[in-house]
Amino acid sequence: MDTALIWLRRDLRLDDNAALYHGLAKAGRACAVFVFDRDILDGLPSRADRRVEFIWRSLVELRAALRRRGGELHVLHGSARTAIPAFAARIGADAVYAARDYEPFAVQRDAAVAAALERDGRALHLVKDQVIFEADELLTASGRPYHVYTPYRRAWLARLQERDHAPWPLPERLHALAACAATEGDDMPGLAALGFQAGTLDGLPIVAGEAGARALLDDFGARIDDYGAARDFPARKGPSYLSTHLRFGTVSIRALVRLAVRRASAGAHTWLSELIWREFYQMLLWHYPETVEHGFQRRFDAIAWPNPPGHFDAWREARTGYPIVDAAMRQLEHSGYMHNRLRMITASFLVKDLHVDWRLGERHFAERLIDYDQAANVGGWQWSAGVGTDAQPWFRIFNPVTQSQKFDPTGAFIRRYLPELASVPDAFVHAPWRMPATPGGFVCGRDYPMPIVDHAAARATTLALFKSAGGVPGRAETPPANPSRTLG
């Protein structure tokens, strides 16, 4: 092959990059390109989107790294569906290489690009990069996708060999990427030209690009053995904080799996299980793209969620009167991140205490999370709402006060985000409405909202809603009717 176009998407790194490796290995001449896709960007509700800036900063770093090695990266702004075939034609590419993406939007976009390329006699080659095992590499004995995480994890671990996480070597011929000389109008657009604000990440502990990922990985490498013990306590520095880097591919999943496997401690093993959850949800979303809108357990689509007026707004504006929920929602608003335990608590609270449709919560997280990943978010919301694949049945309902007492025992996390509770003693910080009034002291209802709902009453309503849709306590989930697919 003469010329290849390497299309980078959510693999914004030099290290261990499958598309770069394959594209450069197979062609004499190659170009690398990234498209700020208007089909995505134009639909974003805010012009101060932190993800756009994260991508932009990562690209600045990646382009500089490529140029230092004699290479080049072209950055376009337009609809990828037309920009990629047009760019491929302009440079006379025989084929386009890209890392496979499993989200429904990406699958459709790639099919459209492949069709357009094919009409011009070119091919689109999608290679595995963002997962260890692709959606149809791990199937049950009857050849169907796993619907339950634990057997999936068992199969994943049993199949894993060293070659599955071996890195793709850094191509020696990166200078071949300079062959497509830049022409006028090829300069990387600034954020303003893209229609977005700069400075959205200022003050946040998140550094874009491979350098940011490496720093987090080094830091986490020293804490990984303690992960199992620390990960559930939001006031502690327990998790890796690598999710945004995984989302945009500024770190390779193979590097993370290698770290976990080589460390081989209990903490590393627990962390590896979380990486497998990520892959489990990617696999499910690929096989069942309709779960973006529908519960995996379809019978619960029949629930008419009351969405009581004011509930959704109180939740997203951190005014529910439940400190752990409100502190978590402020963390999200302030930083674009939320601790995993808190994602579970706030999602459960929105659905099972406030009786708001899980899809509204999923959309809100989709707008606010810098690490937003459709597969993990839809999976996490369905798990919390009790309409998903497994593990969390609908009749198990988190109590926000006992969750708070258990995972933030001294209220350290709560007080970090709710300074209005600074003077409330530990004994009442999880449920300040229970605190007796003292003259001149904290008054619940004045200094902080009274609880928006009574948990016990809300719980009873939730159980009734699920039963009305055919929920029988203890009954296992029913698999969806649609057939599995293959990557072809």
Ligand X SMILES: Cc1cc2nc3c(=O)[nH]c(=O)nc-3n(C[C@H](O)[C@H](O)[C@H](O)COP(=O)(O)OP(=O)(O)OC[C@H]3O[C@@H](n4cnc5c(N)ncnc54)[C@H](O)[C@@H]3O)c2cc1C
Residue 392 contacts ligand X per CB under 6 A: no
Q: Under 8 Å CB-to-CB from 11, ≥6 apart: which residues? A: 17, 18, 19, 99, 129, 130, 249
- Residue 246, interface with ligand X (CB under 6 A)? yes
Question: Given the complex with ligand X, which of 200 and 331 has the nearer CB atom?
Answer: 331
* Under rule CB under 6 A, residue 250 binds ligand X: no
Q: Quick one: which segment of 31-39, 97-105, 182-190, 273-281 binds ligand X (CB under 6 A)?
A: 273-281
Q: Classify residue 310 as exposed, middle or buried by CB count within 10 Å of its CB (0-12, 13-18, 19+).
A: exposed
* 376 scored as a contact of ligand X (CB under 6 A): yes
Q: Closer to ligand X at the Cβ: 37 or 279?
A: 279
Q: Tell me the β-bridge partners of 29.
A: 3
Q: Does 243 bind ligand X (CB under 6 A)?
A: yes
For ligand X, the closer of residues 97 and 271 by Cβ is: 271
Cβ within 8 Å of residue 324, ≥6 positions away: 342, 345, 400, 401, 403, 404, 407, 408, 413, 414, 430
Measure the CA–CA gap between 219 and 183, rounded to whole angstroms.
41
Is 91 or 261 the residue whose CB approaches ligand X more closely?
Answer: 261
Q: Which of the 8 DSSP states describes residue 387?
A: -
Could you confirm whether 305 is annotated as catalytic?
A: yes
Instruction: Note if 56 is an active site residue.
Output: no
Our CB check for ligand X shows the closer of 75 and 369 to be: 369
The region of 55-63, 201-209, 336-344, 452-460 touching ligand X under the rule CB under 6 A is 336-344
User: Measuring CA to CA, which residue among 365, 325, 327, 330 is closest to residue 349?
Assistant: 325
Smaller CB separation from ligand X, 210 or 373 = 373
Distant-in-sequence, close-in-space partners of 88: CB < 8 Å, separation ≥ 6? 5, 96, 117, 120, 122
Contact between 252 and ligand X by CB under 6 A: the answer reads no
**Closest distance of CB 207 from ligand X, Å:** 14
Considering CB under 6 A, how many residues would be counted as binding ligand X?
28
Residue 320 is a binding residue for ligand X (CB under 6 A)? no
The sign of the torsion formed by the CA atoms of 284, 287, 291, 297 equals: negative
Interface region with ligand X, contact rule CB under 6 A, candidates 205-213, 365-373, 419-427, 460-468: 365-373
Contact call for residues 248 and 369 (beta carbons, < 8 A): no
Contact 125, 13 (CB under 8 A): no
The site string for ligand X over 417-456 (x = CB under 6 A, - otherwise) reads ----------------------------------------
Q: Per CB under 6 A, does 224 bind ligand X?
A: no
Please, what is the minimum distance in Å from the beta carbon of residue 11 to ligand X? 15
Does 137 contact ligand X by CB under 6 A? Answer: no
Q: How far is the CB of 210 from ligand X (least distance, A)?
A: 16
Is 274 among the residues that bind ligand X (CB under 6 A)?
yes
Beta bridge pairs of residue 450: none
Does position 241 interact with ligand X (CB under 6 A)? The reply is yes
Query: Is 340 assigned a catalytic role?
Result: yes
Biggest CA–CA distance in the chain, Å, is 82
374 within 8 A of 341, measured Cβ to Cβ: no
**Helix or strand (DSSP H, E) at 125:** strand 123-127
Contact yes or no for 366/46 (Cβ under 8 A): no
Q: Give whichever of 6 and 342 is closer to ligand X, judged by the CB atom.
A: 342
Beta bridge partners of 7: 33, 98
| Of 71, 104, 171, 239, the one binding ligand X by CB under 6 A | 239
Q: How far apart are the first and last CA of the chain?
A: 22
Among 373, 390, 408, 477, binds ligand X (CB under 6 A): 373
* Count of residues making up the chain: 488
Contact indicator for 377, 366 with CB cutoff of 8 Å: yes
Determine whether 7 is an active site residue.
Answer: no
Does residue number 49 form part of the binding site for ligand X (CB under 6 A)? no
Contact residues for ligand X, defined by CB under 6 A? 231, 239-243, 246-247, 274-275, 277-278, 281, 340, 343-344, 347, 365, 369, 371-373, 376-377, 379-381, 384
